[in-house]
Copies of this chain bind each other. A is one copy, B any other.
């Protein structure tokens, strides 16, 4: 396609999505659930075809010399195909958020006022190599009553289109328009720029991917963005911590998984317990293969480790590396988190009531925890059923984003001929 025809194509997708969003908003819960369950069956029935289309992407990727990690993310194994189908069925089981009415109350004027939950409209999702995001994102947008326009990585286009075909079959089986979920069928990068600047057709953009993608989206989008920027998470071990819990949590937060945004990147330890807890922790970390980088007070206890530089306090390693700083106490810990954190997830370990309250109130992060591992910051762990990502924004939705985060509310007013006096 040349630029002009990409423009026409995107304009058409946008128009179709806007029209479909009305159907999506009005769709009954049962229709949405049927679509999801039928799409799941289509994915299982057409597993071989999906694998075949995925193989085209994999071969092209190998020819292009994509690295092993990327090829791994790109691959639709039998397990991953089954996982997609299972994911669709799980979303079908979730409570429909659309139309939920809350807080209806009578006002002195006699009117009854409350909130009704409503879809956002059209959601544009831009993601990278993993094709199973196509199914996940489509399912969450559909169940929350939104139309979606999906733009996956260009290296995954065959896979994404094959998945979209199955979802289209589900929509059809439920009597819904296939345009409720549209995958952008061109690898032209200009299409992304156009998607980001169609405020008449798209209500919100959700980028899922690395920092480069998200920064491009933030720079170019004229549409509100729900973004996940980065996670520089802290655990602060207070001088009144239960040391057994402290060790469990600090080890879990770092070593449970490394490449995730809710992994701890900096450990803060109160001065008066540093000599007691750091050697125990160091043993665990070294056994797990974690490289430690400490401040001077940390190195006074752990003499073998490297010095942390200023950059370490701001680093999201996503790797077996941990920065450690000894602080005076809770105030300096909060100050450090305020200065170097990314407002993602931060935890305190303490048995002190007042300090737990202080930390919960003053730390300005999307998840703030007491005596729990930062690894819990996750839509499934929080009971959202599924998540489209973790928002590091403060407006609209913050932290793990489930179905509710893809909706808004309107006021509803019931009267009986009431007029304003």
Taking Cβ atoms with an 8 Å cutoff, the residues of A that contact B are 22, 25-26, 99, 105, 107, 109, 111, 113, 116, 118, 120-121, 203-204, 224, 242, 244-245, 248-249, 251-253, 256, 338, 347, 360-362, 364-373, 375-377, 381-383, 393-396, 398-400, 408-420
The interface residues of chain B lying within 8 Å CB-to-CB of A369 are 412-415
Q: Are B366 and A420 in contact (CB under 8 A)?
A: no
CB-nearest residue of chain B to A347? B413
Measured between alpha carbons, how far is A371 from B112 in the docked complex, in Å?
A: 11
Residue of chain B at shortest CB distance from A121: B394
**Do the beta carbons of B413 and A370 come within 8 Å of each other?**
yes
> Which residues of chain B come closer than 8 Å to A242, judged between CB atoms?
417
Q: Are A412 and B248 in contact (CB under 8 A)?
A: no
Query: Chain B residues with Cβ under 8 A from A361's Cβ?
Result: 26, 99, 116
In whole Å, how far is A251's beta carbon from the nearest beta carbon of chain B? 8
- Is A398's CB under 8 angstroms from B408's CB? yes
Complex contact B418–A373 (CB within 8 A): yes
In the complex, A372→B373 CA distance in Å?
Answer: 51
Complex interface: chain B residues within 8 A of A121 (CB): 364, 394
Cβ–Cβ contact B375 & A419, under 8 A: yes
Name the one of B26, B362, B373, B394 contacting A408, with C-beta atoms under 8 angstroms. Answer: B394
Nearest residue, chain B, Cβ from A253: B419
Which residue in B118, B251, B399 is a CB contact (below 8 Å) of A410?
B399
Within 8 Å by CB of A371, from B99, B338, B418, lies B418
Q: In the complex, what's the smallest C-beta–C-beta distance from A397 to chain B, in angstroms?
A: 8
Cβ-defined partner of A381 (8 Å) among B22, B111, B347, B373: B111
Contact, CB under 8 Å: A417 / B371? yes
Q: Are A408 and B381 in contact (CB under 8 A)?
A: no
Using Cβ atoms and an 8 Å threshold, which residues of chain B touch A382?
Answer: 107, 113, 411
B373 adjacent to A419 (CB under 8 Å): yes
What is the bound-complex CA distance between A375 and B415, given in angstroms? 12
Contacts A366-B411, A394-B408, A398-B408: A417 and B109 contacting too (C-beta < 8 A)? no
Which residues in B have their C-beta under 8 angstroms from that of A249? 417-419
Quick one: given A364-B25, A395-B408, are A375 and B420 in contact (CB under 8 Å)? yes
Q: What are 16 A-B residue pairs whose CB atoms fall within 8 Å in the complex?
A: A116-B360, A116-B361, A118-B364, A120-B394, A203-B395, A224-B224, A242-B417, A245-B416, A367-B410, A369-B415, A371-B416, A372-B415, A373-B418, A398-B408, A399-B410, A399-B411
Q: Verify A413–B256 contact, CB threshold 8 A.
A: no
Q: Is the CB of A413 within 8 A of B368?
A: yes
**B252 contacts A383, C-beta separation under 8 Å:** no
Instruction: Looking at the assembled complex, report how far the CB atom of A143 sits from the nearest CB atom of chain B, in whole angstroms.
Output: 17
In the complex, what residues of B have CB within 8 A of residue A248's CB? 417, 419
Flag if A381 contacts B224 (CB, 8 Å).
no
A252 B415 Cβ-Cβ under 8 A: no
CA distance A353 to B407 in the complex (A): 26
Q: Which of A251, A400, A412, A420 has the most CB of B within 10 A?
A: A420
A113–B417 touching, CB < 8 Å: no
Contact between B375 and A410 (Cβ–Cβ < 8 Å)?
no
CA distance A121 to B398 in the complex (A): 14
Q: What B residues does A362 contact at CB under 8 A?
A: 25-26
Cβ contact within 8 Å between B368 and A411: yes
Inter-chain contact B26/A414, CB cutoff 8 Å: no
Residue in B closest to A407 when the chains form the complex, CB atoms: B394
**Given A411-B399, A412-B360, A372–B418 Cβ distance below 8 Å?**
yes
| CA distance in complex: A418, B256 (Å) | 13
With both chains docked as a complex, state the minimum distance between the C-beta of A214 and any C-beta of chain B, in angstroms.
14
The interface residues of chain B lying within 8 Å CB-to-CB of A415 are 369-373, 376
Q: Give the residues in chain B near A256, CB-CB below 8 Å.
A: 419-420
B204 and A383 contacting across the interface, CB-CB below 8 Å: no
